[in-house]
């Protein structure tokens, strides 16, 4: 018979052994689960990413030289990256566009788009922020190398206020080769002191072959804007959406009236001396419509061939036709056609059957298409007489008769 001490000691020596085996089992199980989780995550990333991962600093800038990503494994990994990933890029880009969040709307623009309620072909649904190009958050830890880089705009919609600039930008955004910032940057009129680096950082990322755009209608009437844009790039393409200056002035007044119901009447603001018929050209609603005067400043820095003048009226009556001209001007393939639009009889505006980043119809928001107040016919007649010589000069300068005096 074994001594009592040895017999009693056997269970105590076996107990640590079983605990050790159990710990090893748990460790192996945890390692297996962790490996499966990592593999699953990598598999998911492979479906959404189309290139090697680039390290980013916490501030959102790529590690290394400003504006350039540092490949984690060096150039060999880039060369060895599967060609299949590159073939998937267009589909992945579309998926990313569909799921990105909207950028904040610029309060000064007011041109929100609203989504059509399903089942109501012509009834506008809830209003929302303008369909915009939003960037990944600054703290993103990884970024695809071929998601592109931020560039200064190659084309700018410089005017005019209440001419149809928001509609044009939203229509253009349907094109896969156009990337535009949603809110109006107001760089060349209000924020020029912040520098081009600040301005570039506002822009969306673009891939090779894509055009970066922005729109700020007040540029057209800002004296310093032409020289400043030329200093950035003499090759910048400029787009001006123009509209009958009388109708534009009334629309401008209507927008202000919606915000400040206590302002004087349109008639009283139009004249310095109504009995003498003296128009107050210091009032911005009147001044903006003297297109020929503003255009003279731009032609000192840009050739007329580098500017495209879009008819705000035709943008409503024939959006596909005007978009065709714009696409040609920008050197883009004519992708936006009649099939992208339908006319909303309730709003009196063309709407997109499918706006960028959405599978539902989109229309201009409730801030567009406001009912204009009744204006004294004599005041309208005098305004037309006032604008006529400026309009004729504008027609000569642009080589296009917009028909506002017919």
Alpha carbons 47 and 388: distance in angstroms, whole number = 60
Phi-psi region of 298 (alpha: psi -120 to 50; beta: other; left: phi over 0): alpha
Alpha carbons 70 and 73: distance in angstroms, whole number = 9
Query: Annotation-wise, does 371 bind a ligand?
Result: yes
Query: Annotation-wise, does 165 bind a ligand?
Result: yes
Alpha carbons 132 and 169: distance in angstroms, whole number = 10
Query: Annotation-wise, does 243 bind a ligand?
Result: yes
**From the CA atom positions of the chain, what is the Rg in Å?**
30
Query: Annotation-wise, does 100 bind a ligand?
Result: no
Query: Annotation-wise, does 236 bind a ligand?
Result: no
For the beta carbon of residue 181, count every other beta carbon within 10 angstroms.
24
For the beta carbon of residue 227, count every other beta carbon within 10 angstroms.
14
CA angle 186, 239, 282 (to 5 degrees): 60
Considering 162, 215, 237, 347, which one is annotated as catalytic?
162
Query: Annotation-wise, does 369 bind a ligand?
Result: yes
Alpha carbons 64 and 161: distance in angstroms, whole number = 42
Among 236, 243, 214, 395, CA closest to 303: 236
Position of tokens 């350039």? 68
Alpha carbons 113 and 35: distance in angstroms, whole number = 46
Phi-psi region of 396 (alpha: psi -120 to 50; beta: other; left: phi over 0): alpha
Query: Annotation-wise, does 163 bind a ligand?
Result: yes
Is 162 noted as a catalytic residue in this protein? yes
Cis before 151? omega within 30 = no
Position of tokens 């004249």? 271
For residue 186, with 0-12 CB atoms within 10 Å meaning exposed, 13-18 middle and 19 or more buried, which class applies? middle
Query: Annotation-wise, does 222 bind a ligand?
Result: no
Give the CA distances from residue 361 to residues 113, 180, 251, in Å, rounded to whole numbers and listed in that order. 10, 20, 25
Q: Annotated binding residues for 3'-phosphoadenylyl sulfate, as ranges?
A: 162-166, 243, 251, 368-372
Query: Could you list the active site residues?
Result: 162
């Amino acid at each position: 018979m074994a001594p009592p001490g040895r017999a009693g000691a056997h269970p105590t020596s076996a107990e640590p052994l079983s605990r050790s085996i159990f710990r090893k089992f748990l460790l192996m199980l945890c390692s297996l689960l962790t490996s499966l989780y990592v593999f699953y995550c990598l598999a998911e990333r492979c479906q959404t990413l189309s290139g090697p991962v680039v390290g980013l600093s916490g501030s959102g800038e790529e590690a290394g030289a400003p504006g350039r990503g540092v490949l984690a494994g060096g150039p060999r990994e880039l060369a060895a990256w599967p060609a299949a990933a590159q073939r998937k890029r267009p589909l992945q880009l579309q998926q990313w566009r569909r799921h990105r969040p909207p950028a904040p709307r610029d309060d000064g623009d007011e041109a929100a788009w609203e989504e059509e309620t399903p089942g109501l072909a012509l009834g506008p649904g809830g209003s929302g922020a303008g369909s915009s190009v939003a960037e990944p958050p600054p703290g993103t830890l990884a970024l695809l190398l071929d998601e592109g880089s931020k560039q200064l705009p190659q084309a700018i919609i410089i005017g005019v206020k209440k001419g149809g600039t928001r509609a044009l930008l939203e229509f253009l955004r349907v094109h896969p080769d156009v990337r535009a910032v949603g809110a109006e940057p107001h760089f060349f009129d209000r924020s020029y002191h912040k520098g081009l680096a600040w301005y570039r950082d506002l822009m969306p990322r673009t891939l090779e072959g894509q055009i970066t755009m922005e729109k700020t209608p007040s540029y057209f009437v800002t004296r310093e804007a032409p020289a400043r844009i030329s200093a950035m790039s003499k090759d910048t393409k400029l787009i001006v959406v123009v509209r009958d200056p009388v109708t534009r002035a009334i629309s401008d007044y209507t927008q202000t009236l919606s915000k400040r119901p206590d302002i004087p009447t349109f008639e009283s603001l139009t004249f310095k001396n109504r009995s003498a018929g003296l128009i107050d050209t210091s009032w911005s609603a009147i001044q903006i419509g003297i297109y020929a005067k503003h255009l003279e400043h731009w032609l000192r820095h840009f050739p007329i061939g580098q500017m495209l003048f879009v008819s705000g009226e035709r943008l409503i009556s024939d959006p596909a036709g005007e978009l065709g001209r714009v696409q040609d001007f920008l050197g883009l393939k004519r992708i936006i056609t009649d099939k992208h639009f339908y006319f909303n009889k309730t709003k009196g505006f063309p709407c997109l059957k499918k706006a960028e980043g959405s599978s539902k119809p989109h229309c201009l928001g409730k801030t567009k298409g406001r009912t204009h107040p009744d204006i004294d016919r004599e005041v309208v007649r005098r305004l037309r007489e006032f604008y006529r010589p400026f309009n004729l000069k504008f027609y000569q300068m642009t080589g296009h008769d917009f028909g506002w005096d017919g």
